Amino acid sequence: MEFKITMPRKRRELYNKEICACSIFGAMNRDGERFTGAGVMKAIANMHVRGNGLGGGFAAYGIYPEYKDYYAFHLMFTGCSAEARMAAKMGFDPYLYENFDVVYDEEIPHRDESTVSDPPLVWRYFVTPNKKGDDAALSDEDYIVAKVMHVNTKIDNAYVFSSGKNMGCFKGVGYPEEIGEYFMLDRLYKAYTWTVHGRFPTNTQAWWGGAHPFSLLDTTVVHNGEISSYGTNRWYLEMYGYACTLQTDTEVIAYAADLLMRRQSLPIDLVAKILAPPIWNSIDRMNEKEKKLLTTLRMVYGPLLMNGPFSIIIGQTGKMIGLTDRIRLRPLTAATRGPMFYLSSEEASIRLISPELDSVWTPNGGEPVIGELNNIT
Amino acid sequence: MAMAHNAQPQLLEATGSGESMDAVEVDATNLETRELNDRLRDLMLSGVEKVVLRNVCGQRYIGTRLYTPEHRKMDIEIYGTPGNDLAAFLFGHNIRVHANAQDGVGNTMDHGEVVVEGRAGDVLGFSMRGGKIFVRDGVGYRTALHMKEYEDKKPVVVIGGTSQDFLGEYMAGGIVILLGLGGKPHKGNFLGTGMHGGVIYLRGTVDKTQVGSQVDISPLNDADREIVDHYVSEFIQRFPDLGIGKEEILKGEFIRLSAKSKRPYVKLYA
């Protein structure tokens, strides 16, 4: 029997979604002028193919000038029905009112006709600490951190996902441009720094709390990559009172940044050398002083080394910082135009909203790029 | 100039006479990666030999999927910023980018030519096995990663500026020339790590701690000089606006980085 095989030469129907990675983007006006989220939504949408619609989020700095002296808590109440979500809020409110003075609260405005799936109840509270007993000795910040950790570990279906002053995170399951529309970030808010993330979850399920940014107080992190040292990092951070509850590796970077930068007041250059230290080969080639410093950092902070490929944007009041792993296994492009400072997974997204740029470069692995406000108002 | 409109790609009849045709312009605004590459393929199949892409913004794989059994060739000019993997699997076409390029230029490129009037990102020339890439300014990490050659197929990458780390990592063949124009020193580390074939010519110097342990640093011999001379001429032809003469480039000190052994792991796996 003879077989005649003819290979069909017609064009294969191409799978429309063959590309994957995460996307990150940040835009900062170093003069402190505030702008809406419209531009960054456009920029992140241009990297649509890097994500897969299972997470998107924004951090915005300078959005609550009328409440700038109060901590802005953004809360997520989960549950399978509106009643269950409201019940979760009822479970949380007494704890909040017992420990804080609340000057204003409301549901975060959103578009109900949006396409996002299973949105939780998202509420914001503007609060000041009401410290009692032993807690009176704590700084405001330490008090907030302790209470956030308590809520996220002890109170069912309630998650504080944003807790800084005059800033806020907005995040959820969907493409980032959808999340931006859901919370109407292009109309309701003006910030001097926006950071954005489009997610392609690799190791954990997508849920609203697991979207980026991750934040604590005013520090936020958006991240492309994965932290393969997550277990070690998490174990170390737990010793300092940080509980990882959000099921995404990036959470450890936010807490590490809080520990090193706020509590231990280390400058970002040192923090970068802790999170992304040069490899031993490189350390061997340094002069004695540098060698001693880097060896010491690796001894003291070994468990905070973030192993694995990453590029991240850290947001803080008045600051935006880009950092990649030491051998830059994930992309990051930096650019400036006048007072504007941009960070992005891809240059095209920056050019889309700022066709002319003063400078464009790809930072070296492990070396932070930093944008700072000229005058912090 | 003929215009291809967004909704309806204009398909032109092949002239077959080999006469030069007008360039076809494509406005890439709001075109997705796949739509843009479909457009290019349709234009090529209809016999168009020159395409100008306007307002490109991050669309990937431009120049890929342009193989035909009869080896048709097209000139593609790009305005705007092309996305990752520009010229991936490129099969004989010429691409000129009037801007910076992103990551992955010339990924597994087969033959043809890419000219970038600016800088390029990471992994340029990854697994490239033929053709030429000219970059006016610098390049990012892992340029010429696992570049290879076979018989008469020998890829060439010429970079006007310098490179970040891991240039020529696991390089197995081909030629990389780094001109270091603009006077910036070569600061890249881990050059040629795991290299076992091909050659890197570098204008300027590097410390031996910057190169992988598998790499020999040596001066150029006459045959090397001929190769460098040839490709520097081609580089200058492609960037006439640079305003720098060939002699000026060639009078700089060059070094040659090549693999100590073609089989560096023979003892490990024998």
Query: Model confidence over A177-223: pLDDT tens digits?
Result: 999 999 999 999 999 999 999 998 877 788 898 899 999 999 999 99
Q: Does A352 touch chain B (CB under 8 A)?
A: yes
pLDDT value of residue A9: 52
CA atoms within 13 A on the CB side of B74: 32
Contact B165 A351 (CB under 8 A): no
- φ/ψ of residue B82, rounded to 5: -70, 150
Shortest Cα distance, chain A CAs vs residue B84, angstroms: 8
Q: Is the model's pLDDT at B15 over the cut of 60?
A: no
- φ/ψ of residue A265, rounded to 5: 50, 35
| Single-letter code of the amino acid located at B184 | K
Q: Which residue does chain B place closest to A281, by CA atoms?
A: B209
Q: Is the model's pLDDT at B17 over the cut of 50?
A: no
Which residues in B lie closer than 8 A to residue A286 (C-beta atoms)?
A: none
Q: What is the residue whose two structure tokens read 């990559």?
A: A225
State how beta strands A319-324 and A369-372 pair: antiparallel
**DSSP 3-state of B229:** helix
Topology, domain B84-259: Pectate Lyase C-like (2.160.20)
- φ/ψ of residue A373, rounded to 5: -65, 135
CA B128 – CA B111 distance, rounded (Å): 9
Q: Is the model's pLDDT at B203 over the cut of 50?
A: yes
Interface of B with A (CB under 8 A): 33-34, 56-58, 60, 80-84, 99-100, 102-103, 119, 121-122, 140-141, 164-166, 189, 209
pLDDT value of residue B126: 97
Enumerate residue ranges in chain A where pLDDT < 50.
Answer: 12, 14-15, 17-18, 377
Q: Is the model's pLDDT at B182 over the cut of 70?
A: yes
The contacts found for A284-292 with CB under 8 angstroms, 24 or more apart, are A285/B209
| Six token digits for residue A300 | 């003291």
CA A30 – CA A319 distance, rounded (Å): 9
pLDDT value of residue B202: 97
Q: Does A327 touch chain B (CB under 8 A)?
A: yes
Shortest Cα distance, chain A CAs vs residue B53, angstroms: 15
Q: Is the model's pLDDT at B270 over the cut of 70?
A: no
Three-state SS string over B75-124 comes to EEEEEEECCCCCCCCCEEEEEEECCCCCCCCCCCCCEEEEEECCCECCCC
Contact A328 B122 (CB under 8 A): yes
CA A262 – CA A268 distance, rounded (Å): 11
Shortest Cα distance, chain A CAs vs residue B78, angstroms: 13
pLDDT value of residue B96: 98
Residue in A49, A328, A352 nearest the CB of B57: A352
pLDDT value of residue B20: 52
Nearest residue to A35 via CA among A177, A162, A187, A176 = A187
Contact A365 B119 (CB under 8 A): no
- Residue pair A347/B102 in contact (Cβ under 8 Å)? The answer is yes
Give every strand in the sheet of A214-216, ordered side by side: A214-216, A219-225, A310-316, A319-324, A369-372
Burial of A190 (0-12, 13-18, 19+ CB in 10 A): middle
Q: What is the DSSP string of B23-70?
A: PEEEE-TT--HHHHHHHHHHHHHTT--EEEEEEEES---TT-S---TT
Residue in A49, A282, A362 nearest the CB of B140: A362
pLDDT value of residue A2: 56
Which residues in A lie closer than 8 A to residue B81 (C-beta atoms)?
A: 347-348, 351
Which residues in A lie closer than 8 A to residue B34 (C-beta atoms)?
A: 14, 16
Domain ranges of chain B: 22-77, 84-259
Pick the CATH number of A23-372 from 3.30.43.10, 3.60.20.10, 1.20.1250.20, 3.60.20.40: 3.60.20.10
Contact B58 A47 (CB under 8 A): yes
pLDDT value of residue B183: 83
Which residues in A lie closer than 8 A to residue B209 (C-beta atoms)?
A: 285
Q: Does A16 touch chain B (CB under 8 A)?
A: yes
Q: What percent of chain B has pLDDT over 70?
A: 91
Q: What is the residue whose two structure tokens read 């456009």?
A: A42
Shortest Cα distance, chain B CAs vs residue A352, angstroms: 7
Domain ranges of chain A: 23-372
Q: Does A111 touch chain B (CB under 8 A)?
A: no
pLDDT value of residue A4: 62
Shortest Cα distance, chain A CAs vs residue B57, angstroms: 5
pLDDT value of residue B123: 98
Q: Is the model's pLDDT at B164 over the cut of 80?
A: yes
CA B94 – CA B115 distance, rounded (Å): 8
Nearest residue to B256 via CA among B195, B170, B181 = B195
| Six token digits for residue A349 | 């997204």
pLDDT value of residue B14: 43
- Residue pair B18/B4 in contact (Cβ under 8 Å)? The answer is no
Question: For an interface test with B, which of A46, A49, A290 has the most B Cβ atoms less than 10 Å from its Cβ?
Answer: A49
Interface of A with B in 25-64 (CB under 8 A): 46-47, 49
* Backbone dihedral region for residue A263 (phi beyond 0: left; psi -120 to 50: alpha; all else: beta): alpha
CA geometry: angle A226, A230, A234, nearest 5 deg: 145
Model confidence pLDDT, tens digit, residues B19-69: 456 899 999 999 999 999 999 999 999 999 999 999 999 999 999 999 999
Q: Which residue does chain A place closest to B56, by CA atoms?
A: A348
pLDDT value of residue A6: 55
Question: For an interface test with B, which of A346, A356, A359 has the most B Cβ atoms less than 10 Å from its Cβ?
Answer: A346
pLDDT value of residue A377: 47
Report chain B's terminal Cα–Cα distance, integer Å. 62
**What are the catalytic residues of A?**
22
Residue B238: other Cβ atoms inside 10 A: 18
* Backbone dihedral region for residue A184 (phi beyond 0: left; psi -120 to 50: alpha; all else: beta): left
Q: How confident is the model at residue B1 (pLDDT cuts 50, 70, 90)?
A: very low
CA geometry: angle B83, B89, B90, nearest 5 deg: 85
- Residue pair A162/A72 in contact (Cβ under 8 Å)? The answer is yes
ipTM: 0.90
**DSSP 3-state of B134:** strand
Shortest Cα distance, chain A CAs vs residue B226, angstroms: 33
Q: Does A367 touch chain B (CB under 8 A)?
A: no
